[in-house]
Amino acid sequence: MMGIFKKKESRASPDDSKSDKSLLRPAVAVERLSNYSHKSPKLISANFPSPSMGNNMPDIPIPDPPDPGSQPAAYLRSIHAVRQRTRLVLDEAKGNALNHFDVDMSKFKDTADYVVAIIKRDYAGDYASIPPHGRWQHFEVGGRPRVTQLLQSWPTAIDTQERARRLIDLFLVSVLLDAGAGTKWSYKSKESGKVYVRSEGLAVASLEMFKAGAFSSDPTQPHQVDAAGLNKVTVETLARGMQVSDSNPMSGLAGRAGLLIRLASALQNTEIFGVEGRPGNMIDYLISHPTTQAASVPVVLLPTLWSVLMDGLSSIWPATRTTIQGKSLGDAWPCRAMPKSPPAHPWETIVPFHKLTQWLCYSLMVPMTKLLNVHFAGAELMTGLPEYRNGGLLVDTGLLTLKEEDRQRGLKIYHHMVGDGNAVEVVPTFEPSDDVIVEWRAVTVGFLDELLAAVNQGLGLEGAEQLSLAQMLEAGTWKGGREIAQVSRPITKGPPIGIISDGTVF
Domain ranges of the chain: 23-499
Q: Quick one: DSSP state of residue 475?
A: I
Q: Is the pLDDT of residue 37 over 90?
A: no
Least confident of 33-42, 304-313, 329-338, 400-409: 33-42
Of 405, 415, 423, the C-alpha closest to 494 is 423
Phi, psi (rounded to 5 degrees) for 222: -70, -25
- DSSP letters of 308-370? HHHHHTGGGS-TTS-EETTEE-SSEEE-TTS--SSPPPGGGGEEE--HHHHHHHHHHHHHHHH
pLDDT, position 295? 77
Give residue 360's identity as a one-letter amino acid code: L
| 42 band by pLDDT with thresholds 50, 70 and 90 | very low
d(CA 182, CA 272): 34
Give the pLDDT confidence of 235-263 residue by residue, as tens digits. 999 999 999 999 999 988 998 999 999 99
Instruction: Name the pTM for this structure.
Output: 0.86
Give me the mean pLDDT over the 281-291 stretch.
97
β-sheet bridge partners, residue 332: 352
pLDDT, position 505? 63
Q: Is the pLDDT of residue 435 over 80?
A: yes
Give me the mean pLDDT over the 431-447 stretch.
97
pLDDT, position 506? 55
Q: Is the pLDDT of residue 408 over 80?
A: yes
8 Å CB contact between 181 and 251: yes
* CA-to-CA separations, 378 to 356, 442, 467, in angstroms, rounded: 18, 22, 16
Give me the mean pLDDT over the 156-168 stretch.
97
d(CA 156, CA 16): 9
Give me the mean pLDDT over the 38-67 stretch.
56
Give me the mean pLDDT over the 370-375 stretch.
96
| 192 band by pLDDT with thresholds 50, 70 and 90 | very high
| Average pLDDT, rounded, for the chain | 87
Q: Is the pLDDT of residue 24 over 50?
A: no
d(CA 479, CA 133): 10
Q: Quick one: DSSP state of residue 89?
A: H
Give the pLDDT confidence of 106-134 residue by residue, as tens digits. 999 999 999 999 999 999 989 999 999 99
Share above pLDDT 70 across residues of the chain, in percent, rounded to a whole number: 86
Give the pLDDT confidence of 479-501 residue by residue, as tens digits. 999 999 999 999 988 899 999 87
| 317 band by pLDDT with thresholds 50, 70 and 90 | confident
Give the pLDDT confidence of 169-182 residue by residue, as tens digits. 999 999 999 877 88
d(CA 497, CA 494): 8
| 386 band by pLDDT with thresholds 50, 70 and 90 | very high
Q: Specify the DSSP element, H or E, that contains 217.
A: none
State the Cα angle at 12 between 9 and 16, rounded to 5°: 110
| 374 band by pLDDT with thresholds 50, 70 and 90 | very high
Higher local confidence (pLDDT), 277 or 50: 277
Long-range Cβ contact pairs of 38-46 (< 8 A, separation 24 or more): 38/121, 38/122, 39/122, 39/123, 40/130, 40/131, 40/137, 40/140, 40/474, 40/475, 41/131, 41/137, 41/140, 41/143, 41/145, 42/129, 42/131, 43/131, 43/136, 43/366, 43/370, 45/370, 45/371, 45/373
| Cis amide bond preceding 26, omega within 30 | no
Burial of 419 (C-beta count, 10 Å sphere; 0-12/13-18/19+): exposed
| 424 band by pLDDT with thresholds 50, 70 and 90 | confident
Higher local confidence (pLDDT), 44 or 140: 140
pLDDT, position 341? 65
Least confident of 41-50, 163-172, 206-215: 41-50
